[in-house]
Amino acid sequence: MNTTIRPAEPRDVPRMLELVRELALFERAPDEVTVTEQHMLDAGFGQDPVWFGWVAEGPVDSYSLSVERGGTGGGPDNKQPTPGLRRDDNPILGMAICYTRYSTWKGRYLYLEDIVVTRAARGQGIGERLFRTCVEHAVAEGFHGMRWQVLDWNTDAIRFYKRFGAEVSAGWLNGDLSAEQMKALPGQA
């Protein structure tokens, strides 16, 4: 497959948001995506961008236009369209979104927020190319390293990262406060 990796552009945001939703569905949290297309556009390409990234685009063969629905059977009656994929163009098949993170102990890190390859295009090396593009950026910018999160049950992703020699640790726990929780704290206006 002839896939091109290029920097993300504003015109890519609608398809990138579809990929975010596809990832959320895979991670068993489809209702957790609340970001809008406009917010994602502003956050990446507005006056004060906080994220940057790359997209993988390439041709789609007729088989990739559909994904198996699951269940019994097989064959053409058991398929459904893959969102964002059309035969008449080179759609975005994957993406990587990053931002700069600062460690008071080490300095600047590249934080890989999400790397997603649409289900119909997996197994073709697109994820590896996106990951390597992130690594190349971190090296070129002189970052101390690169960090990301992976769910402990996502054994395929863990195996993917370990292929690169990455350490995946369970030593840190994530802390979160929602906007509503922050507003509800005593002393908040």
Pick left, alpha or beta for residue 75 (phi over 0 → left; psi -120 to 50 → alpha; otherwise beta).
Answer: left
Q: What is the pLDDT of residue 1?
A: 58
Q: What is the pLDDT of residue 16?
A: 97
Q: What is the pLDDT of residue 171?
A: 75
Q: How many domains does the chain have?
A: 1
CB 115 within 8 A of CB 96: yes
Highest mean pLDDT among 10-14, 78-82, 157-161: 10-14
Q: Mark whether 161 is an active-site residue.
A: yes
Based on its alpha-carbon atoms, the radius of gyration of the chain, rounded to whole angstroms, reads: 18
Would 35 be classed as within a structural domain?
Answer: yes
Would 48 be classed as within a structural domain?
Answer: yes
Q: What is the pLDDT of residue 70?
A: 33
Catalytic one of 63, 99, 109, 161: 161
Q: What is the pLDDT of residue 161?
A: 93
The tens digit of pLDDT for each residue in 56-87 reads: 998 765 445 444 333 323 333 334 445 555 54
Would 77 be classed as within a structural domain?
Answer: yes
**Segments forming the whole domain that contains residue 164:** 4-184
Would 133 be classed as within a structural domain?
Answer: yes
> Any idea what DSSP says for residue 132?
H
* CATH code assigned at 17: 3.40.630.30
CB 182 within 8 A of CB 145: no
Would 78 be classed as within a structural domain?
Answer: yes
Would 189 be classed as within a structural domain?
Answer: no
